[in-house]
Amino acid sequence: MDKLRHAFRINRALSDEWVRQAREQVEEGRRHFNAHHYEKAEQAFREAIASNPHNAWANAYLGHTLYHLARVEEAMLYRRRAMEADPGSKAAAIAQAKLDLVKNKQRRAADDFFDYVARH
């Protein structure tokens, strides 16, 4: 029984360490993002996701970062992952709003294109 308790303590300590590391990586990524250093931000968010793939904030911020790097399809994937990781959270709500914004821009661009074609 003592070995089992010891194993649980080790597992808990490792889990806590992974969560702490992921949180620090998200904060590092946010600093880079806010400074418009998107490549560095991408790296930090990917490291956070490697530590915890279900981190909604890391996925949402990676989506925002990829959008700024003009990688729209990949950005949409990570925004969806943020929504799946923690539905109903602030991170998920922000990711959903950003997805809706991109979809609306794409829809408007298509409408503008077809209007132009119809006029010419």
Rounded to two decimals, the pTM is 0.73
Domain 2-119: CATH architecture, name and number where available: Alpha Horseshoe (1.25)
Alpha helices in the chain (DSSP H): 2-34, 38-51, 56-68, 72-85, 90-119
d(CA 102, CA 47): 26
What confidence tens digit (pLDDT) does each residue in 65-117 have? 999 999 988 999 999 999 999 998 898 888 888 888 877 777 776 677 777 77
End-to-end CA distance of the chain: 80
pLDDT in tens, 107-120: 776 677 777 778 88
As a whole number of angstroms, the distance between CA 108 and CA 104 comes to 6
Ranges of each domain in the chain: 2-119
**Rounded CA separation 103/51 (Å):** 30
